Amino acid sequence: MNDPKNLTRHSERLAKVLNGSVNYGSTMSNADQDKNMNCWKFTGTSPAANTNFTLAHNLGRIPITINAQDTNNGGLIYRGTVAWTKTSCTFRCTTAGAVYNIIVI
- How do the domains of the chain map onto residue ranges? 24-104
pLDDT tens per residue across span 21-65: 777 888 888 888 877 788 999 999 999 999 999 999 999 999 999
Select the highest-mean-pLDDT range: 8-17, 18-27, 60-69. 60-69
**Confidence grade of residue 12 (pLDDT, cut at 50, 70, 90):** confident
**Confidence grade of residue 3 (pLDDT, cut at 50, 70, 90):** low
**Which of 12-16, 37-41, 45-49, 83-87 shows the lowest per-residue confidence on average (mean pLDDT)?**
12-16
| Mean predicted lDDT score pLDDT of the chain | 89
3-state SS, the chain, equals CCCHHHHHHHHHHHHHHHCCCCCCCCCCCCCCCCCCCCCEEEEEECCCCCCCEEEECCCCCCCCCEEEEEECCCCCEEECCCCCCCCEEEEEECCCCCEEEEEEC
